[in-house]
Copies of this chain bind each other. A is one copy, B any other.
Amino acid sequence: MLNVNKYVDINTLDKEAKKDYIDRHSAFIEVEKEVAKGEMLTVTVRVGDEYPHPDDFDHYISYVQLYNGQTLLAQANFEPGAVFGNGGKGNLRVTFNIMANKNLNLTAMAYCTKHGLWESDTVKVVVK
């Protein structure tokens, strides 16, 4: 069975190694919470916040997906070492631009080639 890791606030965790592990895999959505109808909405998916993730050939973030509700909008796939260089590390970011036609409930999913699927919190965007 597939295990989808859900977001955990690392301030609730004690051990440094666990904070690092959880944080560097967590997917975050950066987006304005209110937008006028018909405007372009800039949606950035970021993987990790305070701790960087490796971009090694055998351990990297292979894809991120962006969903509205249960509906997939887009998926970005990355080749190993493409973002930070093999041996490099950092917080992967990809920015999609979506026209705001109606309210959105955005969720991101990130996939690490060693540590599986990581689902972000859902972010509500109100279209006025």
In Å, the complex CA distance between A92 and B74 comes to 12
A73 touches B62 (CB 8 A): no
Question: Copies per complex?
Answer: 4
Given A57-B80, A58-B57, A92-B97 in contact, is the A71-B113 Cβ separation under 8 Å?
yes
Q: Is the interface of A mostly helix, strand, loop or mixed?
A: strand
| List of B residues within 8 angstroms of A109 by Cβ | 2
At the interface, yes or no: A23 with Cβ under 8 Å from chain B?
A: no
Taking a contact as CB atoms under 8 Å apart, the answer to whether A58 and B86 are in contact is: yes
Which chain A residues have a beta carbon within 8 Å of chain B's beta carbons?
1-4, 6, 40, 44, 57-58, 62, 67, 70-86, 88, 90, 92-99, 101, 107, 109, 111, 113-117, 119, 122
